[in-house]
Amino acid sequence: MEAGKNVTFDDDLGSGWKHLAIVKARGRLKLYIDGAQRAVSAPFDASDYDISTREPLQIGVGPQNHFSGPMADIRIYAGALTDAQVSQLHQASA
């Protein structure tokens, strides 16, 4: 079941900390793992997915499962980051 658009990476990330970034730009979602783009969603019309809400943001919580583990340094940016910016953020966090 899909209520919106998503991007997935179906391989094991392995142990240890990982730098994850998700960027929404030009009608696609991009997933970066440790500074490298690893997955891209199918194209979509962003206007079809109004995600505005008055509810609090919840990260790692889903209707059937949830993330279990520590998270650190969560950031939300006002605009889409470039590949180079994601790479720089990863390098700064390493």
DSSP state of 78: S
In angstroms, the CA 45 to CA 17 distance is 33
| Average pLDDT across the chain, whole number | 87
Q: Environment class of residue 30 by beta-carbon count within 10 Å: exposed (0-12), middle (13-18) or buried (19+)?
A: buried
pTM for the whole structure: 0.80
How many CA atoms lie within 13 Å of 9's alpha carbon, on the beta-carbon side? Answer: 17
pLDDT in tens, 14-59: 898 899 999 998 889 999 999 999 999 999 887 887 778 888 888 8
Domain range annotation of the chain = 20-93
E-assigned strand segments in the chain: 20-25, 28-33, 36-40
